[in-house]
Structure 1
Amino acid sequence: MKQLAYAALAALLATGAASAQDTTLKMQTIEPSLGQAITMATFANLVTDKLDDVAIEVAGGGAATLHQMETARGNLDMFMTSPTIHILMSKGIAMYKNEPEAPELAKNVQVLMWFPYGEYHFAVRGDSDITTLDDIEGATVFLGPQGGGAYNAAKGWVEATTGLVAGEDYDAIKANWATGFQSFLDGKVDVYVNGCIDPCQQFIQFTETEKIRFIGPEDHEGEAVDKFLGKFRKRAEIPAGLYENQVNDGPVMSNDTAVGIGVRADLDEEQVYRITKTFWENLDGITTDAPWAKALSAEYAAQQLGTAQFHPGAARYYKEIGVQ
């Protein structure tokens, strides 16, 4: 766990080398402890280390939906995107309904790569009498920060597969990521939810001293589940044996989706091409210290998802290697 945490911290603090570079790009990502932020920080650190004339500064915290707007306005260079939030921005709906310029601004952001968000892990202590999602009625659950995308996705999966409604059938606590995890460590919540690519640092930390069980629904089929999954989510299994103190004796069904690194559309094409090429050509060198990175692939990264278009520099690289 310490190795992963230190690697992530080093990536997030890589900004100190920026002054020695010809070009400094600003990346904003979400809560630094989350797997998606670690993926993006690792991307930034690897590119900065391998290119002499480019540095990517990383700042963590805040909402990806806001970062998308700030990138479109030219205040950031890179951010975490998703197929859904770009569609919402391009239509000026949901969280963008009070932003009249959102549809036009959506043209100013493009995609460099997609990567798996990671399976949504619904976790309980190993000795808990909660063994499936259908058992959480009356339980205290951390789904993610309320109002955020992770919260809504976790809540939606529970309702679609079990019929249980947050705030009615179980208590969905209000907390940020750090407080939610600490509450689970302290035994103050029954169920902790985190979407991440295994091995996840939160579960590595927890299982250093305690047993853990990942739970899934009794039934993951049906019209409600298909509607929840839509175009951009998919069923995905969490295997047994991932963590030393994991008590599952078989795989657990959950769901996964795609997120990505978005960029300003007006970034230089040659620069984005070199950044993209540098990352993928050096990724294999970090998988020993960051085993979760084995889940990343250029084939996955180059998918056309939603309304967001690929930056021409990234598209050139993916076409060059035959994945687009």
Structure 2
Amino acid sequence: MRKLLFVLMVGLLALLLTACGGETKSSTQPSSTEKQGTEAITQSNAPQAQEFTFGAATQGGLWYTLAGAMGDEIQKAIPGSTVTVIEGGSITNLLGLESGKFQIGFSNGQTVPEALNGIGKFEKKAENIRFVATLYPNVYHMVVRADSDIYTVEDLKGKRVSPGIKGYSGELVFQQILKLNNMSYDDLAKVEYVGTADGANLLRDGHIDAIVGMIAAPVSTFQELDTTIGIRLIPLSDETISKMRASNDGFKTYTIKAGTYNNFKEDTNTVAAYTVFLANKDLSDDTVYTLTKMIVENAEKWKTLSKIMNSFDGQFSIDNQVGPIHPGAEKYYKEAGYLK
């Protein structure tokens, strides 16, 4: 009996030791299921390769050049991705972002509130547009040849003008400026709807008298014109500027400094609206976090493309936010210390 009891006790002790050993092993070495879960969490933090359609603007302006440069960096930041740059425009890009045809794109600061509120060219309120970054002021230019007899907005009466592409924000701003000066297209001799580069060629060849539009200052196309035929910039009156600012808080007073274009020696008062980088809200947080990081941390590269970017950094970007921010962008600005 004692012998049988001893055997039973030894067996029970062995079972206890085995159980303890099993618990120790499971606490230090995760199961295959747990390993898979950890790997899945790690992989989820990396944005997936995808096709980006990038709404920019016509060739000859900074938007197109900047979109190309950013597209290259996107493909480095998110390997396997492709970026197709579209010659869109401020309004076209917003419509493309809202519909999901564009994943990313540029727009002008004064146009974004119109889209969000469903006014102007927008039939209903936009719900899918999210802020990523503010880049630089987009400046209203009215450019004529140096030997032109045009010195004011009113002097455009009877003249041939290119307001850019029909329906672009630059054209809409021009129509507003004409209206504020008691004018319309009926007062002009001709309207040519062409992009910046083509407009410059028409001005150079004497086929038009002025180019107008919302564009970076300086823009390379106008710098080239300045060195070949010489240009002047037509200022806006203080009254026009005040009325424009009252109509839309996206407009800011701006002075194009003398020397911005080498042969023009006078300051020019005008208006500007910030160029913003936007994304469709359905882009993942990880993707937009990576895009925001790419934009902010390549600031020095963008500055080599145009002096207009010299003020750009993460703080400038978030301080001039336009519209609701994408959660991925918000995460980056907070982690980088630009946003509390």
Q: TM-score scaled by structure 2?
A: 0.74
Paired position in structure 2 for 1:47: 74
The structure 2 residue matched to 1:279, chosen from 286, 295, 298, is 295
Task: Determine helix, strand or coil for the equivalent of 2:133.
Answer: strand
Moved more, 248-257 or 277-286: 277-286
C-alpha distance in 1 between matches for 2:201 and 2:91: 26
Task: Determine helix, strand or coil for the equivalent of 2:200.
Answer: helix
After the TM superposition, which residues 2-17 of structure 1 pair with which residues of structure 2 at under 5 Å, given as runs? Answer: none
Are positions 1:309 and 2:324 aligned together? yes
Measured after TM superposition, the shift of residue 39 of structure 1 is 2.7
Are positions 1:234 and 2:260 aligned together? no
Amino acid at match of 1:125: R
Preserved CA contact (<8 Å) 2:285 2:327: yes
Paired position in structure 2 for 1:291: 307
After the TM superposition, which residues 234-253 of structure 1 pair with which residues of structure 2 at under 5 Å, given as runs? Answer: 234-244=252-262, 246=263, 248-253=264-269
Preserved CA contact (<8 Å) 2:55 2:89: no
The structure 2 residue matched to 1:210, chosen from 195, 219, 229, is 229
How has the CA–CA distance of structure 1 residues 258 and 285 changed in structure 2, closer, same or farther, with 3 Å as cutoff? Answer: closer
Deviations 1:30-53 (A, max 9, x none): 22322223233332223334x252
Task: Determine helix, strand or coil for the equivalent of 2:121.
Answer: helix
C-alpha distance in 1 between matches for 2:293 and 2:62: 22
Moved more, 287-296 or 232-241: 287-296
CA RMSD of aligned residues (A): 2.8
How has the CA–CA distance of structure 1 residues 91 and 265 changed in structure 2, closer, same or farther, with 3 Å as cutoff? Answer: same
Are positions 1:264 and 2:251 aligned together? no
Preserved CA contact (<8 Å) 2:136 2:275: yes
C-alpha distance in 1 between matches for 2:146 and 2:260: 14
Paired position in structure 2 for 1:38: 65
C-alpha distance in 2 between matches for 1:226 and 1:109: 23
C-alpha distance in 2 between matches for 1:202 and 1:303: 30
Paired position in structure 2 for 1:188: 207
Deviations 1:33-91 (A, max 9, x none): 22223233332223334x25264503222344344344334333112234554444444
How has the CA–CA distance of structure 1 residues 147 and 85 changed in structure 2, closer, same or farther, with 3 Å as cutoff? Answer: same
C-alpha distance in 1 between matches for 2:244 and 2:186: 20
C-alpha distance in 2 between matches for 1:158 and 1:137: 10
How has the CA–CA distance of structure 1 residues 133 and 32 changed in structure 2, closer, same or farther, with 3 Å as cutoff? Answer: same
Paired position in structure 2 for 1:170: 188
Q: When the two structures are aligned, how many residues end up with a matched partner?
A: 291
Moved more, 122-131 or 71-80: 71-80
Task: Determine helix, strand or coil for the equivalent of 1:207.
Answer: helix
Deviations 1:189-235 (A, max 9, x none): 1111132222212112212311111111354467634434x211011
Are positions 1:110 and 2:130 aligned together? yes
Moved more, 119-128 or 287-296: 287-296
Amino acid at match of 2:213: N
Paired position in structure 2 for 1:29: 56
